[in-house]
Amino acid sequence: MKILTSEIAQHYQISSLQRGHLIFSSFISVNGKILFLDSHLERLVKGADFLFPNLGWPQNSQKIKNYVLQYFQEINDHSFTNFYFRLTLFDDSLYLQHRRSEVFSDSINLTTAVKIKTPSLIPEYVKFSNYVESDIEIVRARFKNFDDIVYLDNSQHITEASTSNIFIVNNNGVIKTPKPSSMILDGIVRKQLLCFLQKENFQILEAPIAIEEFKMASEIWLTNSVKGIRFVDQFDNIKYSKKNSVFERVSLLCGRYGELL
């Protein structure tokens, strides 16, 4: 048990924190370089402006970037240690923390979530720090020997995984992913990967994916700024082969975390 002193506890009494009015972005450094920092900060500041419209967060974009780069320079010992960063904004305050990056498998097993996603008032660029329902879903999934879950909406279309965007490769070789919405976060790696695939003349389609199409896909991928680009080995009782897959080809071109983009 941890008992907070009054000096520490007073920081938890801020109204925005009590009501969950804070947003964040998580990103990593790979081989001495922070990946997609500009994109993360652009989305974060846009979200801060939505949540705190009178505080002028967009005017501080360059100051935030300078602070992050200075912070990174101070902790980077040139040993090419990879770091995880979490940058949180609430009211007029900023908090940056870091740790060594974890190593995640590039393969994963999925099952369907219990919760149905529904439209909300939160735009696709706002990333809130509330994962209670997802964490409960993950505990349930692990009891069934699955690693993660995929959410459906009321129309039985795919939205996203617990913390990742979703891509499929259909039987015609077309790579599909749902468009960002209030139910689907506008993920940074998702956006970067889409731009790359389009430049490389892959067949790309941003469109709804019905659960029936999802089950018939030849490949399923997840994208996440911290865990990278991952291949779904199994969805429920359906298994997929990574050997000679589009995923293998894309991974070689992009890197495990998109670091070659």
Q: pLDDT tens for residues 7-39?
A: 777 777 788 888 888 999 999 999 999 999 999
Strand, helix or coil for residue 154: coil
Structural fold of domain 107-254: D-amino Acid Aminotransferase; Chain A, domain 2 (3.20.10)
What is the average per-residue pLDDT within 92-112?
94
Fold assignment, 6-100: D-amino Acid Aminotransferase; Chain A, domain 1 (3.30.470)
What integer best gives the mean pLDDT of the chain? 94
- The answer on pLDDT for 104 being more than 80 is yes
Q: Which residue pairs, CB below 8 angstroms and at least 24 apart, start in 60-69? A: 64/94, 65/37, 65/38, 65/41, 67/94, 67/96, 68/34, 68/37, 68/41, 68/96, 69/34, 69/37
Q: Is the pLDDT of residue 152 over 80?
A: yes
Top-confidence residue, 66 or 8 = 66
pLDDT above 90: residue 65: yes
Query: Among candidates 138, 92, 91, 94, which has minimal Cα distance to 115?
Result: 138
What stretch(es) of the chain map to CATH 3.30.470.10?
6-100
Residues of the chain with CATH 3.20.10.10: 107-254
Q: Can you tell me the mean pLDDT for 241-257?
A: 95
Integer Cα distance of 224 and 226 in angstroms:
6
In this model, does residue 131 exceed pLDDT 80? yes
